[in-house]
Structure 1
Amino acid sequence: MNTLQLSIVHRLPQSFRWLAGSAGTKVEPIPQNGQGGDNSLIGLKLLSADGENAWSVMQKLSQALSDISVECTVLECDGEPCLFVRRQDEFAATGRLKNFGVAIAESFSSHNPF
């Protein structure tokens, strides 16, 4: 069975940017009042696997995006592998991953309007 079809990713709530002088190798969160602009990145964290298996799955996800020319990088963030893509490529990236059977976990507000 394809391991991508058993994968669940979650979009990290903050935006990121490349750390000065470390483009492609290190990211830093963008302050909430900061402007990300064209350099803004989103991060996807794997929820369905951990350890060495998580790194392997993230590399496969990265390859799936590279196949459609979406630039991405797998880096450690808070001790776990995360996939970073440019904000403007977010919809193409998540669409591609969904086509491979990857589930995208959504955040829900605890506010109940009823």
Structure 2
Amino acid sequence: MNNNPFSVVHRLPQSYRWLSGYAGVKVEVIPLPAEEEESNLIGLKLLSPEGDSARSILQGLNLSLREIEVESNIVECDGELCLFVKRDDESAAMCRLKNIGTAIAESVSVSALYPF
């Protein structure tokens, strides 16, 4: 079970890949169309605490994903720590995170709220 305080993550809108020579350490945004990349990654940004608290929470999420054999890495992106997983593992990662009590913030378009 999740021993971390309530946490909320948001999926970053871009696709990423490991920066050449820095796999597991640094990422770069993939230019469109990202679907053609077989090694692309998705990033999850923690919306709750920052600093050491964020690192601790992300480490807990990282360990939880690794328990179900989903490879994940904590990497600094745009000055913030984020959790990165392979796009192919996105569904399993999101399911696991939800199951341990992590909220997943999703973007909602205005037209979805007011379709008329």
For normalisation by structure 1, the TM-score amounts to 0.92
How far off its partner does 1:91 sit? 0.4
Match of 1:3 in 2: 4
Could you tell me how far apart the structure 2 residues matched to 1:15 and 1:82 are? Answer: 13
Question: Following superposition of structure 1 onto structure 2, how do residues 29-108 of structure 1 map, counting pairs within 5 Å?
Answer: 29-34=29-34, 36-108=36-108
CA distance in 2, matches of 1:7, 1:36: 32
- How much identity, in percent, do the aligned residues show? 57
> When the two structures are aligned, how many residues end up with a matched partner?
113
Structure 2 residue runs of 5 or longer lacking an equivalent are none
Q: Distance in 2 between matches of 1:36 and 1:24?
A: 21
One-letter code aligned to 2:115: P
Deviation of 1:2 (Å): 2.9
RMSD: 1.5
Distance 1:20 1:35 in 2: 19
Distance 1:17 1:36 in 2: 12
The 1-side partners of 2:43 and 2:36 are apart by 14
After TM superposition, give the deviation of residue 32 of structure 1 in Å: 2.3
TM-score (norm 2): 0.90
Secondary structure class of the residue paired with 1:3: coil
Distance change >3 Å, CA 65–CA 8, structure 1 → 2: same
